[in-house]
A and B are shown apart, each in its own frame.
Chain A
């Protein structure tokens, strides 16, 4: 009786076992790569906005305090988006004819809010409160990145839960003196860990990691 398979099938079957392992390994790496890529997380990806608002110019070069526009950041869960009137406090006086600002003036005339594209939006199943973070010494730039250097705003973190937990597990690595919270140019000192531990104690920061802390 003739052989069912050619001799080469031995090699093929062995290679296919190795190939299957490599394929599975490669697939896992590829999936992880996609999960962590800016294409999927939108980290570091700038968004188109109705008006090309520059945080670098306003918060960096001009030195306008974060709270001038985001008024409720230290009182409420939501930092607040400024109404057009806030823009017009200055722009009724300067750059009054700039074509770039026409949507702002149109909004002011018609009383229709500018519809900004949300850059940092947490899912609805996450409870997040700006005020507690700000009043316990977590600076704006800790989560929002080098906002004073962003001509157009992008998301600085992945917004993954691991990203939240990084700080919730070790707040001493990120906490800063309360006076520096709104300083967009703050650089952590060399003795951050030492200072951080001291601040954690002083501000009574709890390392909250219960599920129900954020998923209420």
Chain B
């Protein structure tokens, strides 16, 4: 009985490998660098890139119109002054958080499964923050005066309003972008050097050579690389929590019912990681299929990401429940009305769709069969992405459209340009992402190699001991 039980535990706890069988240091380098260097531009890539690029051109059109006619081309008006633009901003910036969590916190926690997904998760972070950053600027109406947001010496003798969370947001997002970019780039340096050394044509050698900043792989280089990575991970770690906390302050500091709540910071951070992991899955599943990377991004990776999604999804669900409870427990007329309006008001469909997408459907991830089914995982990741977008829409538009005085109540209807801006940034994101997978190693060669090394060492040890 005892031995049977312990056997079962041993079977259950023996982890699936993080890397397919038969990989050596060389095959890893070959496989990842060949995607960039020898595979070339494939029709599938061109097709996807063309679609993304068309959407990016749509964004160009929208921005041009926005400059000419102003934010009036969107459906915003008082009382709903913040609608799609801020929804998209929060959505995009939330998506970025998974990349930072994977690359920084999991690095510090020595989670080995991060190695084959961290590179493109970080790229996702950077591109998502770029998309996010555009929205507040476009939403200002006069984007060319964006520098008013920064404290700089000026002939008006004027600082930004430091008591406003919108100013904190500027610092949070710009710090986030800077640290993420540096972290990503530092991590890329040894891999860029590998590409430089393996590139056959002169232009690639020069470009990768310049980007790899003279990397020769000496012991000093490695020691500095490790140290810089660790420092940047230390810098990025608080950002995982702080950035979305500050984003949530944009709402909580205001006294609008539905916004003015102390649960927002943790709720937003959990939601950010939730949507971020959903996006990582949305990206990872087609990429590993198309580039045959199943042995590097294994089922175990997908399984772990699904579990993280489930865990953060439960935190988000808890926040929804507490929010609803507090609205009634507060005995505040406006809070109660806000919640009733969410559930039964003109935007009730959106609210219940959000509950379905974020609360109900992801519960399927409790089942191991669902976590191991790639189509199911892909679908759920899309559903969560949609759900998290709806969540921000509900928080922003549904709270604003009926605040205190009924004479101020009004509806928000998105115009075609609202949709075009949103879809346009998706185009920007995927254009950048397609360029990334074409020209940069989308999986960290260095880190996967060190994982191979460790795995082989372990095997050797276990052989020696047995």
Interface residues of A (CB under 8 A from B): 1, 4-5, 9-10, 13, 32, 35-36, 158, 160-163, 165-166
Contact = CB atoms under 8 A, between A and B. Distances in A.
Contacts of B157: 161-162, 165-166
Nearest to B214: A10
Contacts of B435: none
B276 interface: no
A166 B213 CA distance: 49
Given A10-B214, A13-B214, A162 B209 contact: no
B155 A162 contact: yes
Contact of A4 (B153, B206, B213): B206
B153 A13 contact: no
Contacts of B156: 160-162
A211 B206 CA distance: 54
B214 A160 contact: no
B261 interface: no
A4 B214 contact: no
B155 A4 contact: no
A4 B197 CA distance: 9
Given A10-B214, A32-B153, A4 B158 contact: no
8 contacts: A4-B196, A5-B209, A5-B214, A13-B213, A158-B155, A160-B155, A161-B156, A162-B155
A158 B155 CA distance: 9
Contacts of A162: 154-157
Size bin of chain B's contact surface: 10 to 19
Contacts of A161: 155-158
B341 interface: no
Contacts of B158: 161
Contacts of A36: 155
A4 B213 CA distance: 12
A17 B199 CA distance: 26
A36 B154 CA distance: 10
A158 B420 CA distance: 44
B383 to A, nearest CB: 46
Interface string B144-165: 0000000001111110000000
Among A1, A4, A166, residue most surrounded by chain B Cβ atoms (within 10 Å): A4
Contacts of A13: 213-214
A66 to B, nearest CB: 28
A160 B157 CA distance: 9
B274 to A, nearest CB: 39
Nearest to A2: B205
Contacts of A35: 155
A32 B157 CA distance: 13
A13 B209 CA distance: 12
Nearest to B196: A4
B179 to A, nearest CB: 19
Interface in B209-241: 209, 213-214
Contacts of B205: 4
Given A35-B155, A160-B155, 10 more contacts: A4-B196, A4-B206, A5-B209, A5-B214, A13-B214, A32-B153, A158-B155, A160-B156, A162-B155, A163-B155
Nearest to A160: B155
A32 B197 CA distance: 45
A162 B154 CA distance: 8
